[in-house]
Amino acid sequence: MINILVVGSGGREHALGWKLAQSPKVGMVYHAPGNGGTSNNVNIEVHEIEKLAQFASEKNCLTVVGPEVPLSAGIVDSFTKKGLAIFGPTQDAAKLESSKVWAKHFMKRNGIPTARFEIFDDATKAKAYVKSVDYSLVVKADGLAAGKGVIVCNDKSEAISAIDKILVEKSFGSSGSKIILEEKIDGVEASYIAISDGNTAYPMATSQDHKRIYDGDMGSNTGGMGAYSPTGVIDDVLAKDIQQNVIEQTISSMKKEGAPFCGFLYAGIMVKDGKPFVLEFNARMGDPECQPIMMRMESDLLDYIKASIDGTLSSLPLISWKLQSAVCVVLASKGYPDLYPKNEEILGLEVQDKNSYVFHAGTKRIDGKVLTNGGRVLGVTAIGDTLQDAISNAYGRIGKISWSSKYCRTDIGKKGLAWNQ
């Protein structure tokens, strides 16, 4: 039996731990630091790499890293030097996410399809560039910004405001010391995630995220307000294109450049005229995409994680998936992604339902009560024979959960209905 240490406290980490616990080969699943819905929580934060290594060593754990911060800080390098089994990319490989500037240059030199772009660290020069181009722009902070460092602009004045926000007002701190001005591609966005051992990459189920805070994809970008899987945006022909020309090209190029990528590789894809363009890479599983993907996964996740660490992924069959659809709707606290209340009691969690599961994110448990403890609080995830069934099951469960400032979008998955007919 193998013990597991899941590093992180979000819905993604709850879902990974939930899926790994179903393996007959897994003993204990620990979460560091975990949340109000996870069990066997360990009071160690994600950046406390030495403490995490000591715990993993004492409990003989295989460690699975959820969030980007410890990956970009080199947790995998540190564990590997100590001879500890850990799943995730090295600090060098995690640059695909931790530096958008590095990732854009990487894509350009390796022929990976992406939008044209320019890099700036000077606001005056950046604004001059905005005035010189005849197309709409997306302004991106270089470093990690919890999913909020991308500003999609409809006109030149919005682009200039975004430049001021990042470069002048330093809204994202040192993460915004450089910016990317990227051509805005009008298309349909989807998520394509693969698992890799550095040589081979196997696709996970396709999914589509809903990043904006309000219905109809309006308002601020967030870490994600919901997701569904599979998505009809990516058909078999497009999936083959992405697998070969994005995922496998990235894996082989990273190896060639001396930074083999082991872990979950997430490509945010914009599809225009049937062609994929990479908007961004993440060096870990998406959140909330992880929740519906784990609900649909039939294979034993542990087998694929172990093979990725050992470099033996090609010896396993492709991952198998339930034919059903799954939907995750994020329940947030009103005010997210800006200021929001905390410490509100959540009611209705005890209601059991065979078609759904409530993954916790920004929660904590005190004196037997579950309280809100973050902006994205819960990920109510449901499965159904059709996408419409899964949507209905998710919102049916949501109706039984309450707290004072509960908020969610009412249209998660609906844009998939036209694609998934």
**pLDDT on residue 147:** 66
Residues 251-283 have pLDDT tens digits of 999 999 999 999 999 999 999 999 999 999 999
pLDDT at 157 over 60: yes
**pLDDT on residue 144:** 81
Per the prediction, the chain carries an average pLDDT of 95
The token pair that represents 342 in the structure block: 């905390």
- High-pLDDT (> 90) share of the chain, %: 89
Task: Produce one character per residue of 342-358: b if its CB has 16 or more CB atoms within 10 Å, e if not.
Answer: eebebeebeeeeebbbb
Residues 311-341 have pLDDT tens digits of 999 999 999 999 999 999 999 999 999 999 9
Cα dihedral 386→387→388→393 (10° resolution): 90
Topology, domain 188-315: D-amino Acid Aminotransferase; Chain A, domain 1 (3.30.470)
Helix 156-163, helix 123-132: angle, nearest 10: 170
Q: For residues 288 and 277, what is the distance between their CA atoms, to the nearest angstrom?
A: 21
Topology, domain 325-419: Glycinamide Ribonucleotide Synthetase; Chain A, domain 4 (3.90.600)
In this prediction the pTM is 0.94
Q: Which of 103, 75, 100 is nearest to 89 (CA)?
A: 75
Please compute the mean of the pLDDT values over residues 56-72 and round it to a whole number: 97
Q: For residues 217 and 208, what is the distance between their CA atoms, to the nearest angstrom?
A: 13
| Residue 420's pLDDT band (cuts 50, 70, 90) | low
| Residue 112's pLDDT band (cuts 50, 70, 90) | very high
Topology, domain 2-88: Rossmann fold (3.40.50)
How much of the chain is in helix, strand and coil states, percent to nearest 5?
A: 30, 30, 35
| Domain extents in the chain | 2-88, 122-177, 188-315, 325-419
Q: For residues 390 and 1, what is the distance between their CA atoms, to the nearest angstrom?
A: 34
Question: 315: how many CB neighbours lie within 10 A of its CB?
Answer: 10
> Are the folds of 2-88 and 188-315 the same?
no
Give one DSSP letter per residue of 352-407, joined into a string.
Answer: --TTEEEEESSEEEETTEEEE-SSEEEEEEEEESSHHHHHHHHHHHHTT-B-TTEE
The token pair that represents 412 in the structure block: 């998660």
Homologous superfamily of domain range 122-177:
ATP-grasp fold, A domain (3.30.1490.20)
Instruction: Tell the burial category of 109 from Cβ atoms under 10 Å away from its Cβ (0-12, 13-18, 19+).
Output: exposed
Q: How far apart are the first and last CA of the chain?
A: 43
67 forms beta bridges with: none
Strands 356-360 and 226-229: unpaired
Q: Which of 60, 69, 182 is nearest to 129 (CA)?
A: 182
What lies within 8 Å, CB to CB, of 284 at 6+ separation is 12, 65, 66, 67, 68, 71, 88, 97, 263, 264, 266
The token pair that represents 224 in the structure block: 């994600």
